[in-house]
Structure 1
Amino acid sequence: MTVNMSTETPVTYRQGVRKTLRAVIDLLALIAGLLAVANLFRIGKFGSPFIVTTLLLVFISILPTILLRRKKYLSLSGGLTVAGLVITNFVGMIHLGMGAAAIFAFPFYMALCAALFSRKLTVLFFFAFSCAFATIAYLFVTGVLVSPDPRIADWNKGPDNWIVLLIALMATNMLVITLVTNLSRYWKETENEATDKALQFETLVEYAPDAIVIYDIEKNHFISANGRAVEFFGYDRNTLVRGLSLVDLSPEKQPSGELSATQARQYLEAALDGETPIFHWRHLNASGEEIDCEISLTRLPPFRQKLIRANIADISKRLADQKQSEDLQSQLAASQRLETIGQLTGGVAHDFNNLLAVILGNLELLQDEPDTKKRADYIASCIGATMRGADLTRSMLSYARRTPLQPEVVNLNKLVLDTKNWAGRTLPSHIEVETSLLARLWDVEVDPGLAESALLNLILNARDAMSDSGKLTIETANVRIDQTYQDSRNEALKPGRYVMIAVSDTGQGIDPEIVDKIFDPFFTTKPSGEGSGLGLSMVLGFMRQSEGTAQVYSEPSVGTTFKLYFPAMSPDPSKAPAQSAAAEAATFQGKRILLAEDEEEVLLVLKSTLEQAGYSVTTASNGDAAKEIFEADPTFDLLLTDIVMPGRLKGTCLATALRVLKTNLPVVFMSGYAAEATVHGNGLRPEDIRLMKPIMRGDLLEAISKALGTAHPEP
């Protein structure tokens, strides 16, 4: 048995047409029989013509219908039945002329011919009938044929009567032929199309890569299965279909520990309720082997029955590959841990051996040195080496997240400014330092000394990356993470609120081949003697211990950005809730915003967000287009622009150009790349707001409201 879900439609259609034609032919045969019986009573009155018509009806219309009952004789028996009736009708017309009631049966005969035969043959019959009809009319008009009834005879002599009747009859016949022929052609085309689609669907299902079965819940067995199902279960089709139930092909319990019968009933009931459950299942084949599968269920019509279609995909290989991949990942992680431990051990041994050599050498010299001043120098050298050993130990503890922390509530904006003030004096004059600090920055609870040390480490790394000249930018931002974030080092950040510090430089960037190694202990690109390789690993260790993380973004020949993510403190529940961003935005509804963004999808999201908040938004795909729009209509209340865009005008240059036309135009900048930190300082104002992509809806509306609220009208 093959899958046959849709081929019933054309089969039913063909059977229905045959049954209808057979019923019509049988009805005609019955009518012919009644006419034959009626003729027997009229033979005495009308004579031999009715004997001939009776015989024609019996041998041409009645007997073939009774004897030729097989499908292949349908057209033949139908044609003979019609022929007998037509001949009988013409005999009646020859005797009665227009008085023969059978004249009005001709359209019906034409319809039956159109259903049984081709269009050409039907048209040929039509012309033959018309010619025969016209001939009989001519014979009556010329007096060759005369009706025995005087009243009808006078009517038959009028040529006008015959012309009107002939035209009406021909028009009716042609209309019936056209209608039935077109309907027949449409039915046949529909039948052929349905048959083709049914065969295509049957082939698609039969040779699908997944096993496909139909399960009857009321009968508790399969009623249909494709070839892949037969191969999958290992049973022949007759055994599988109407021979086995779902429980017969499943172990007693599933991997979850639940009984297969119970779990199968739950999934089947869900499918009956209109759901499409997809689940992991374990089947048994004919050999008793358990096979892991993924099954999807869907209810099938007719809905008076409880039929469920199941797609069954063998996922044994996929699970095996997944397990192999997980094993390889575990082995790789173990190998990386061993490599890190090896690097750490080698580096520590090297540095401690150097320190011990300094201490040992100075102590040995101290034993034999009588000079008090030199003895003090030796002691000082030992103390210095000991302190460097303590620093090394502290760095190792920080990397291992074992440094004792003394957390305090800290505002990172203040920490950045304080660090910049005293550390900035150590930077060479050819490096420009700039800060972009977010107002209303969330507080964090962190060890301020270690946080300052981590920031200083990043500042000094940025200084070393810019040997000639450049710009160092320190930014802060509030960040919300809605889902668990996994970075390239498999460091997970829990969902929540974070405060970010970003330190960007315009140096040569980091080689992509080593960017993943820069947080490894004792890894350094600096010349020997200029770095221990523990600075960034110490920063990462401290951030991990503080339940945050550190990330790096670098573009060769453009610059590098290090980002530190600190968990923000939870808002104080005792404080009254602040007005929502949406509520604040409501006070500025109707304000006109010019939005410049080159990424179309981002542009559409931002536009929809702002319009839902009640703003009127005009968009531009780059700075040049935005400038043209503003020049044509400088009545916009705010500019929201990406910093880096294609074209001549970047975001900062666009803001400067528009402020020539409208001095107090509020501007909100958006950025998403490390290199964008380098575009600060192009005549921007302290009140300008900078948002880091991706931008939460609340943050965007809050920034827009703040910018509009602090805007001053034109003088």
Structure 2
Amino acid sequence: MTQKAKTIDGPQPAPAPGAEPSSARAEDAPLRRFGVGLSRRYVMVSRVTVGLSYPFWHLLAPDGAADPWFVWWVIGAIFVAVGLMAAVPGVPDRLLHRLFHFCPWLVTAHLFLLAHVNEMQPFFAVGSALALLSTATQLRTLPSLVAYGVFATTLGGTLYLLEPDPRKLAYWIGLLPVLVLAWHRLSVQIDAADAVEHQQEELERRVRERTAELTRAYEQLQRELEERELLQEQLRLSQKMQAVGRLAGGIAHDFNNLLTVIGSYGEFVLAKSEDPATRRDVSEMLRAGDKAAQLTSRLLAFARGGVTQPVMVDLNEIVSDSAGMIGSVTGEDIDASVVLAERILCIRADRDQLDQVLLNLVLNARDAMPDGGKLTIATRNHGPDDPETAGLGPHGPVEGWAVLSVRDTGVGMDPETQSRAFEPFFTTKPADRGTGLGLAMVYGTVQQAGGQVRLTSEPGQGTCFELWFPAFRSEATVSRKAARRTLPSAGGQCVLVVEDDPDIRQITRRALRDAGYVVLDAEDGDVALVVLEETRLSVELVLTDVVMPHMSGFELAERIAERRPELPVIFMSGHLNHPSLRERELPPDISLLSKPFTPADLLEHVGLALAEARSRTD
């Protein structure tokens, strides 16, 4: 009696001990769909209550009626037994459900028979009608309602046919409202079932749509997170490269000044000494200085601040001119091939730096193939709307992209090595085989030209470097042959040297005077303007450093152009990576003398600048 209430026909959270398995309850799914919701406690209380009270209705029966008293007690005992069975956990739900609905059938049959044998006395007639009505209104499932209607109709019709009686006919006609009520309940339950099913389908549809939306949103979020992580990594790498580049540029600038002094004095000694031992020692010193100059040149290229002379160049010409170098560098065990585009677009870059870039990539490929392999150098064009150019960013009104690729079949790189490939001083080669600046110089040179480097590699599958340059259609390319000129001789021309470093100023003054030039000097731009105004000599050339205190070389050249536009100017500098100069472009009529330079380099630039100035005035 204290057993916790348990639903018979409704959905169950878990089977009670001894209950029928879930597979058996699954057969009652159509019943549970209409919300039967019976519980064992309800069955127990209702059936025991009716069973105990039902026999006492016999006391109200008319005297002399055919009404055996024990039948009432038997039916009441059946009700009580069904109620007690509900308290037993081992009784299956399905059996208990059937017994629960069997009890009202039994009462209906009992009262119908009593009304029939007692000539439709009002007590029994009304009792049978009440039994029919109460049962029809209490049935909660469609199968039970249909089955009970068939049972009551068959029972009443059979009793009428056994003994036709107008009173019985009128009585059975009175059952029509019961049938209408049954049909009404049936239609309501069917509509309710359809509505529930429709709502369930609609809910499932909305859940599927929402799930699909959430899935798409999650996938989009994952893509955005991956893109953001990639952009953050690129930004981190770019910031790191910029920081290291600024440091390298500053160091290289000071180092170039020192190398200029060392190399120039070495040249002075070499020009005057006739002692073989001295000349040999000085030559070794100068050779070491050249190696140091190459090192600083690579540092400046990585820093994207080296002094450059960008001109319109043809990538095919760069590769063709380097064909002999490629064969001598790679050796016989590497099959080197060149595939050039039929008509490559022109790019704007420093020709000497492009030569160095190609050499660095070829050397890198050679070292990646110690046992030989295949090296392919190729050029190709891409239009501005080509899908492969996505992500390269805007670069103004370019005609497209010119690509230089260097592919090898060497050992390849793992992802970690690729992520650090362009870092300065990072190398996987032995200490005596590389400095770690080759790819850093490639990266800086391409970036300085407005391009990008794409690296693809897999361990054991080789490596491919693609250099993407913004390209232009122009026939105004500068070839090396056109750039070669004859060095004129000095004739006492006056040159103004502007340099804040006293050592550089001294060796520049000495080299020019030894060559026959008249030299004036100034330690900054302000002094240089004063010298130009006050000197009685006719200054024919200004040779100025770029990065100086108070006034840069660019500003000095602009001030000179305002006063004497015909006066030629030469810039000399170790780099142009100063914050105030980083975005400045070199004027086309000003030549560059890169530090470290030798006296011969100095005299060549001065002579050419004077010759060009003389040709313009003639």
TM-score normalised per structure 1: 0.35
Larger RCO (CA under 8 A, 6+ residues apart)? 2
TM-score normalised per structure 2: 0.40
